[in-house]
Each structure stands twice: as C-alpha cells, then as structure tokens.
C-alpha cells in the first residue's frame, strides 16, 4: 500500500503494546488528504538494542519516532524494510544511527530504481490519487524520500539474533517483488508487511504499477500460514491475534485472491474479453474480504493484462484507442451540445455512461460548459456511491480538473 498524508510534524502517534517487547506506532495524521490508513512503524525491544520494522512516510516518521522512543530509548541496531514503497521507507533517515544495519531483500534496489526512473510520472499520479497538490506526490513519494540504502541485502532468507531474540527474514513477493516477511519464532510473530490488509489487495493500483502477481501473493500467504503464527502484524491496520483467527483470515484472503485469479484465467482461456470478465467476476460471499482499498474489477484487468498485455485481438486496437474518432461521432450526433444534452438525460440513472459521453463532447471542445457541468454531476454521483478510497481519490482528481476547466 502506498499511503500519503499532509505533513504532521506537530502531531502525535498512538503506540500499542503488543507484548514480547513489540510496539506499534500508528499515525494519527489529519487533513483531508488522508485517503488510506497510515502505515505502521514497529519497534521490537531487546536487551541489547532495538529493531525497527518499516518506518512509515517521511511526514509521519518524526511522530512515530517520538512516540516509540518514549517507550524505549535503546540504540537502533537494525531497520528492516518490508518493501521499497515510500510509506515504509520514508522514515529511514529519521531512525538510522551510524551503526544501524538497514536490511532489505535483494530486489529492493531494483524497485527503488524503477520508482526513481519514473519519478515524474509517479509524482503526478500520486498527487492525483492521494489528493495532494501539484508536485505533492513528488515531495512525499518514494522518489523524494531517498532513504539510506540498505547495508544488508538477501536473496531468499536471512537470520540474525539480537539480545536473545532470533529474527528470520523470508522473501515473500506480493505487493512488490522485493517484499519480505519478518518472523520471530520465539514469539510466533509474523510481520507480513502489505501482503495482507483489510480489503481485497490492490492487484493493480491506478497510480501505476508493474504487474503484481496474484500467484506470488498466494504463495507468500502460504509461506506465512505454514509458520502457524499466533500474532500477525500488517504494516497497515491492526494486528491479528490468535492462531485460529490468523489461519481463518489469511486462508480466506489467499482463497479470495486465488478465486479471482483462477476465474480470470479460465475466462481468458475461454476467449472472454477483459471487459466481460471485469463485469462477470465477483467473490462468493464466504470470500468477500471487502473492496475498500483494492478493487476486483481493476484486479481482474491487472491479472488479465499482467499475463498478456494490452492488445485485445481487435485489429483497429493496433493503431490506438477508438477515442481517435470521437470528433466524428460527436459530429454525427449533432455536435457537443447534443452529446452533453444526452449525457444530462442519463446522469441520474447511469452516471458512467454520462461520463463516457462527456469524454466525447470534451474531445471536440475541452472547455464545453454543459459537458463539464454534466461531467461534474456524474463524478459527484459516483463519488457519493463509492466505498473505495483509491477510486474516490481519482474521482476527486476528476472533479478538481472539471472545476478548473469551468473557471473562466
């Protein structure tokens, strides 16, 4: 998950004592920009010093650090990064002391390089999705965080001991290729990072991502399930406690992902289009883990196009999208006024179709007032009826854009 919030230097974080010397700091970041839960910072206290798992975003890190060091001010011997998203790496510089080891999986550096290579793109898309001002995505994103590079990189497994506590790190790709899980066998505690949160996962995120492989999530969840943890600590949201409850919830989560994956693959092999499968695939009630963050339709498309890319077999698609003939269609319909009027008729009953019509009218005249007004109404209707934080982020971005174009 990639979660951003307005800077909150003066705010305080809540600390939760999870037993065994494990503490969780959770952000209490305010402001309208917060669309997703803040990422946690974990501290494991040992008699020879402390270990940090994930560091939250740069803006939240000072508050997390104040709250956790008030609990225990011991030296920070290691920082473990579950993956290279900015909401986990942003606070490394806050925490790192001269002798602190920074530990990550080998692909961490590749993933960091990928985000830096596309920093201009991600600055815009993060700003849109998370409701930040122009350039805000760059200011708080992974690209700007430039955390201290890892001092330890490992391939599949890495173990170390500190103050009598053994830490085992396992490569568990899922939300990112470099994702890892921290396992403390003595406490039966698994820090699962972003491979579990309280929503269907973002198998595709609208702000842009390389393919997130559904079967990686499945395998990584199996790895964690096989450890039989009694405490699971996701990097977003609350801890899950109790062996049976953990088995039940992680199994259901894995099965939900596998269900969507298998249904998509089956449909692909039967010759169904991505649109047909987006419409058709839904989770059976027993596997319905909610869609407050990830969304099934985008995930189906993410899996489909993750496997085969964008070409749909229709010969005209080779030359680009059909939006190239919107002007022709609008002309045939009698011009942008006529198209906007039809959108106006539809908006109360079918906001999505109204929205598509405004795309066509605005392709002819980007500042066409009636089309922009219907577009605003459609986007506001969709926003009111959405329970998905990422979808609402992009609807808000669309509303801001339409409002800006309506200004004289």
* Chain residues that interact with Zn ion, rule: CB under 5 A: 1, 39, 85, 87, 194
Question: Smallest gap, in angstroms, from Cβ of residue 205 to Zn ion?
Answer: 11
Nearer Cβ to Zn ion (105/344): 105
Nearer Cβ to Zn ion (194/391): 194
Locate 29 and state its tokens.
């970041």
Which among 397, 394, 350, 391 is positioned nearest to 374, based on CA atoms?
350
Nearer Cβ to Zn ion (81/372): 81
Question: Smallest gap, in angstroms, from Cβ of residue 89 to Zn ion?
Answer: 10
* DSSP code for 75: -
CA dihedral 24, 30, 33, 39 (to 10 degrees): 0
Nearer Cβ to Zn ion (139/376): 139
Question: Smallest gap, in angstroms, from Cβ of residue 236 to Zn ion?
Answer: 6
Question: Smallest gap, in angstroms, from Cβ of residue 140 to Zn ion?
Answer: 13
Question: Smallest gap, in angstroms, from Cβ of residue 291 to Zn ion?
Answer: 17
What sign results for the dihedral spanned by CA atoms 344, 350, 354, 357? negative
Rounded CA separation 253/220 (Å): 12
Q: What angle do CA 7, 12, 15 make, to 5 degrees?
A: 125
Residue nearest to Zn ion as judged by C-beta position: 1
Locate 263 and state its tokens.
């249904």
Q: What angle do CA 178, 111, 122 make, to 5 degrees?
A: 130
Nearer Cβ to Zn ion (39/50): 39
Q: Is 68:265 a contact under the CB 8 Å cutoff?
A: no
Query: Which residues, other chains included, contact 325 with Cβ-Cβ below 8 Å and sequence gap of 6+?
Result: none
Nearer Cβ to Zn ion (77/108): 108
One DSSP character per residue, 317-372 reads: GGG--GGGGHHHHHHHHTSHHHHHHHHHHHTTT-HHHHHHHHHHHHHH-TT-HHHH
CA dihedral 364, 370, 372, 378 (to 10 degrees): -120
How many other CB atoms sit within 10 Å of the CB of residue 261? Answer: 22
Nearer Cβ to Zn ion (39/389): 39
Rounded CA separation 328/322 (Å): 11
Question: Smallest gap, in angstroms, from Cβ of residue 354 to Zn ion?
Answer: 34
Nearer Cβ to Zn ion (136/174): 174
Question: Smallest gap, in angstroms, from Cβ of residue 83 to Zn ion?
Answer: 8
Question: Smallest gap, in angstroms, from Cβ of residue 197 to Zn ion?
Answer: 8
Which among 187, 263, 261, 190 is positioned nearest to 222, based on CA atoms?
190
Question: Smallest gap, in angstroms, from Cβ of residue 175 to Zn ion?
Answer: 7
Rounded CA separation 37/205 (Å): 16
Query: Which residues, other chains included, contact 223 with Cβ-Cβ below 8 Å and sequence gap of 6+?
Result: 170, 172, 181
Nearer Cβ to Zn ion (194/376): 194
Nearer Cβ to Zn ion (221/377): 221
Question: Smallest gap, in angstroms, from Cβ of residue 138 to Zn ion?
Answer: 18
């Amino acid at each position: 998950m990639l979660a951003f919030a307005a800077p909150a230097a003066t705010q305080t974080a809540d600390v939760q004592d999870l037993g065994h010397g494990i503490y969780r700091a959770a952000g209490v970041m305010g402001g309208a920009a917060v669309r997703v839960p803040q990422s946690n910072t974990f501290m494991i206290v040992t008699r020879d010093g402390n270990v940090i798992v994930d560091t939250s975003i740069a803006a939240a890190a000072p508050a997390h650090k104040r709250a956790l060091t008030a609990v225990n001010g011991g030296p920070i011997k290691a920082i473990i990064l579950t993956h290279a998203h900015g909401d986990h790496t942003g606070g490394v510089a806050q925490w790192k002391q001269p002798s602190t080891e920074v530990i990550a999986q080998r692909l961490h550096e590749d993933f960091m390089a990928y985000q830096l290579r596309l920093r201009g793109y991600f600055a815009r898309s993060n700003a849109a999705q998370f409701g930040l001002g122009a350039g805000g995505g760059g200011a708080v994103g992974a690209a700007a965080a430039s955390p201290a590079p890892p001092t330890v990189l490992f391939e599949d497994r890495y173990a170390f001991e500190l103050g009598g506590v053994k830490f085992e790190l396992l490569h568990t790709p899922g939300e990112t290729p470099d994702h890892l899980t921290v396992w403390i066998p003595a406490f039966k505690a698994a820090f699962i990072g972003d491979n579990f949160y309280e929503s269907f996962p973002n198998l595709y995120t609208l702000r842009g991502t390389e393919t997130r492989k559904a079967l990686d999530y499945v395998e990584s969840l199996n790895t964690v399930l096989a450890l039989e943890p009694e405490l699971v600590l996701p990097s977003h949201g609350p801890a899950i406690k109790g062996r049976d409850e953990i088995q039940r919830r992680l199994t259901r989560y894995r099965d939900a992902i596998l269900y969507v994956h298998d249904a998509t693959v089956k449909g692909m092999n039967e010759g169904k289009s991505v649109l047909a499968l987006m419409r058709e695939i839904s989770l059976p009630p027993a596997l319905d883990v909610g869609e407050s963050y990830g969304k099934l339709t985008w995930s189906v498309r993410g899996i489909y196009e993750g496997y085969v890319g964008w070409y749909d077999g229709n010969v005209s698609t080779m030359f680009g999208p059909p939006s190239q003939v919107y002007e022709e269609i609008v002309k045939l319909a009698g011009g942008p006024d006529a198209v906007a009027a039809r959108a106006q008729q539809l908006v109360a009953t079918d906001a999505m179709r109204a929205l598509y019509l405004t795309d066509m009218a605005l392709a002819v005249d980007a500042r066409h007032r009636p089309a922009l007004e219907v577009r605003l109404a459609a986007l506001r209707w969709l926003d009111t009826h959405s329970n998905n934080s990422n979808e609402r982020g992009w609807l808000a971005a669309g509303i801001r854009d339409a409002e800006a174009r309506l200004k004289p």
